[in-house]
Amino acid sequence: MKPIRKVFDNELPFSLLLDYKETKSPQRELPDHQHHWYEFVYVYRGKGTFFIDQTFYEMRQGDVIVVPGNTVHRGFPDKEEPVTSSAVFFSPDLIHNHAFSEAYAYLKLFDAAKKNKQYKYSLPPEHAQIVESDIGAIHVEWEQRRPDGGQAMALLLHLALLHLNRYCLPQAAEPGAPNALVPDWFREALAYINDHLDRPLELGALAKRAAVSPAHFSRVFKQRLGMNATDYISTKRIFAAKDGLLQSNDKIEHIAMACGFESMPHFYRTFKKYTDMTPAAYRKGNRPH
């Protein structure tokens, strides 16, 4: 089954999209998000659960969730009190790392999140108000569609990222709470898959390692993630391959094998299925020029 991806409509001459103050219900939420753009989510009210990478987080008012590109994630709104949130999607190509001739890492929070496996941050009211204002200003520019609106939105995005760095990075050094929203065996299975993408990952062997039946393993996987184990593993492997293509000069064959693909035809078919392009075209089109 072809995975569901976020579709970006680039009507404006830059790569940014805002879902503003949307109330998510379980029926409206996409089964899973798979895209190479960066994303951050701000929660205004309501509650729910957010899965990203290997971790489930509870969502509450004032929470910020940062999503680096090529990271599997999915939101689970509460049925009684669904989350109202804004989500800002943007291409990393839009971000300029120089301010007044001095280098500034606007994506530092995203890099720290991926490195430390910590994706959720909670803001006190005074900081939450500033981030809400940043997102609101982007929304106003989006609605007004002025001739220079694209430039204004890009500048406002940089300001929002600076504020997220300022208010969230201090929390990145704090130890994260244990992931108590899922069974231990399921959490350990996610970690094992993440650390062994280069090895065979068959359902029967994974279930045996978790000491549950294959049927129960599959059922819990589908309930928790909205996708089956096979699709999840394929997605993780493709995202690892995409990172390898952009961050190294290794041959495509070496990257494919390191990500667990046993044959090149299988790798090319799977990569094309998930990205609609060949590995070589993806590397050429997405590397900084």
Within this chain, do residues 213 and 83 fall inside the same structural domain, yes or no? Answer: no
Total of domains in the chain: 2
Please check whether residues 157 and 200 belong to one and the same domain: no
CATH code of residue 35 = 2.60.120.280
* CA nearest neighbour of 38 among 49, 52, 20: 52
The DSSP string of 145-190 is --TTHHHHHHHHHHHHHHHHHHHHHHHHTSPPPP-TTS-HHHHHHH
Residue 63 sits in the same domain as residue 88: yes
How high is the pLDDT of residue 100? 54
Task: Give yes or no: residues 118 and 217 share one domain.
Answer: no
In a domain, 152, yes or no: yes
What string of DSSP letters covers 78-107? -SSS--EEEEEEE-GGG---EETTEE--TT
Residues 78, 216 within the same domain: no
Looking at 172, 205, 236, the residue that finishes a domain is 172
User: Taking the chain (289 residues) in consecutive chunks of 10 residues, what is each chunk's mean pLDDT?
Assistant: 37 72 60 69 93 88 93 85 92 73 82 90 96 97 89 94 95 62 86 93 93 92 85 91 91 95 93 90 79
pLDDT at 148: 87
pLDDT given for residue 97 in this prediction: 59
Give the pLDDT score at 159.
96
Residues 194 and 216 occupy one common structural domain: yes
148 and 44 within one domain: yes
Q: Which one of 172, 199, 215 terminates a domain? A: 172
Give per-residue pLDDT as tens, 117-176: 899 999 999 999 999 999 999 999 999 988 888 889 999 999 999 999 999 998 876 655
Q: Is position 226 within any domain?
A: yes
Is residue 231 a part of any domain in this protein? yes
50: containing domain? 16-172
For residues 236 and 71, the answer to whether their CB atoms sit within 8 Å is: no
Residue 209 and residue 168 share a domain: no
Asked whether residue 95 is domain-assigned, the answer is yes
> Do the domain assignments include residue 69?
yes
Domain of 247, CATH number, reads 1.10.10.60
Inside any domain, residue 149 = yes
Of 138, 172, 206, which residue sits at a domain end? 172
